[in-house]
Amino acid sequence: MADEQIPTLDVRGEICPYPMLKTNEALDGDQKDVAIFDVITDHPPALSTVPPQAMKRGYEVEIDELGAGEWRMRLTKI
């Protein structure tokens, strides 16, 4: 699947708790039960706080470093 088709939430520039808050809002709202979902962040703590929230909603999380201080968390529905 090409990246363009994956719904993406860009929370760069946001600090705690907004990356998790907005990911949860998306997963509980307009992206509910989406098969695959990308979250882009530049806030390192989000890498340890978003995954438990995603897993609670039935997602696997894979983290990729995009560049200096930026990461993509790819959430895949199990």
The residues that touch another protein, with contacts defined as CB under 8 A, are: 3-10, 12-17, 20-22, 24-26, 29-31, 38, 40, 42-45, 47-49, 51-53, 55-56, 60-70, 72
- Tell me how far apart the alpha carbons of residues 29 and 24 are, in angstroms, rounded to a whole number: 8
Beta bridge partners of 51: none
Distance of CA 43 to the CA centre of its chain: 12
Q: Least Å distance between CB 10 and another protein?
A: 6
Q: Least Å distance between CB 3 and another protein?
A: 6
Between 10 and 35, whose beta carbon lies closer to another protein? Answer: 10
Run of H or E including 39: strand 36-41
